[in-house]
Structure 1
Amino acid sequence: MSERRVLVVEDEQTIAESIATRLRAEGFSVELAGDGPAAVAAFAAHPHDLVVLDIMLPGYDGLEVCRRLQAERAVPVLMLTARDAETDVLVGLAVGADDYLTKPFSMRELVARAHALLRRVDRAAELAGIGAEPAESERIAIDDVEISLAERRVRVAGDEVHLTRTEFDLLVFLASRPRTVLPRERLLAAIWGWTDGAASRTVDSHIKALRRKLGGDRIRTVHGVGYAWETAR
């Protein structure tokens, strides 16, 4: 496999260099950008496999950078935020971030998240490379929600709903097991490739983002355990 390129967008030089040093030690090729416009320019100039993106940046903030990058080309984004406000996280996920870490974080956790995101991209590419024609069995229809697995599209009451890569994968996992209570730890392992339950807030944030897009009554919270996809049938 060719060397993976990572764009690290962070205006605090000490943090940026620490991230770059650890990622390079893991075998990644790393490019640094210290503000929003520099990040957009770097992404346009060279292909990157992953973006590690701080939310607080000069020029364009991380949310605007994420919008612009995803408009240029779909890329997995790990967002870094010093703010733990729920709104910041949900907006970040809405504009195309796949995962997030709240500062301060461990470099070990950042590296694990980066590898997990790239594994998911590789799995999706392998499935796409099979070249099978879309079949009826590749669709999930529950009540007024229709999910096309082949096209990675979701419609609610006939209207298309735009989901991020992570939101779509999470939705499929839940909807393919209607009324089954799925623990947060199982969702973390299946969607993010994580076995550490300490990251369960990531699941909660993505569930909240899904509820905003699909309707709040479709995913049931089982307190202290996890979530279940509700169905009227």
Structure 2
Amino acid sequence: MPEPIQRCILIVEDEQAIADTLIYALRTEGFVTEHCLLGRDGLAALGRGGFALLILDVGLPDMNGFDLCREIRRESEIPVIFLTARSAEIDRIVGLEIGADDYVVKPFSPREVAARVRTILRRVHVPSVALSDAKSDQAPAPTSDPGFRIDDDAQCIYFQGQVLALTRYEYLLLKTLIEAPRRIFSREQLMQRVWVAPDHSLERTVDTHIKTLRAKLKAVDPASDPIVTHRGIGYGLRGRR
């Protein structure tokens, strides 16, 4: 009987000793693991589908983990936890801004990583599909209703009758603003509401996602700018006239 996909974790790490400690910790928590030493092998494994989360080393011998994550994010929203020896803030910012869900600096506690995996999987449900099939599902027909419409079942948002191509965090961020249109959220409040591990994330990540959201909204309606920046405070949604 095949394992439930929500229990299958892919580890892409070139140091066997580190991978072994992670495999042991995750299996102790009831997860099933697959391990790849190289980025290209990890990409091939993801292409077959069947994984709920990816643990990815940044310093792989055949490719940079950041570049691999960017390639994955073109087609998949699978949760990603970076492992790295780089502790500089700029590296954490880059990792989070290209779509990572968490960022763990070596040396680390394998049990802590397993706990972070559980936290992410409790809050994030991502259908596990092959990369080539990740965008094949068709969204429901758009509505002619102006403004925003949230489809909770499909986890998508329509703007001016068009479905928006949003990442998971863009969806959750915009949904938070839409559901409280007259409220101003600080960056910290948005981090707490949207991000899986806000204590390990950076508030600059909110600014980056707001920027990409605005670009996607303007692509639908160039004259519209519904997200308002309240300088020194945070962000809110412009009320309808």
Same fold at TM > 0.5? yes
Quick one: which of 176, 182, 204 aligns to 2:179? 176
- How far apart, CA to CA, are the structure 2 residues paired with 1:97 and 1:147? 27
1:180-199 mapped onto 2 (5 Å cutoff): 180-182=183-185, 187=190, 190-192=193-195, 199=198
Question: Structure 1 stretches of 5 or more lacking a match?
Answer: 126-132
From the CA coordinates, give the structure whose radius of gyration is larger.
2
Paired residue for 1:231? 238
Calculate the TM-score normalised by the size of structure 1: 0.68
**Greater CA drift, 214-223 or 36-45:** 214-223
1:1-233 mapped onto 2 (5 Å cutoff): 2=4, 4-45=7-48, 47-71=50-74, 73-85=76-88, 87-122=90-125, 141=147, 146=148, 148-149=150-151, 150=154, 152-153=156-157, 162-182=165-185, 187=190, 190-192=193-195, 199-202=198-201, 204-214=203-213, 218-220=228-230, 227-231=234-238
Letter in 2 for 1:118: L
* Pairwise CA distance, 1:184: 6.5
- Aligned residue for 1:60, secondary structure, equals coil
- How far apart, CA to CA, are the structure 1 residues paired with 2:106 and 2:231? 27
Supply the RMSD in Å over aligned alpha carbons: 4.1
How many residue pairs align between the two structures? 214
Identity, % of aligned pairs? 34
Letter in 2 for 1:177: A
Paired residue for 2:136? none
Calculate the TM-score normalised by the size of structure 2: 0.66
Q: 1:200 to 1:228 in 2, by over 3 A?
A: farther
Q: 1:101 to 1:231 in 2, by over 3 A?
A: farther
Contact 1:9 1:54 in 2 (8 A): yes
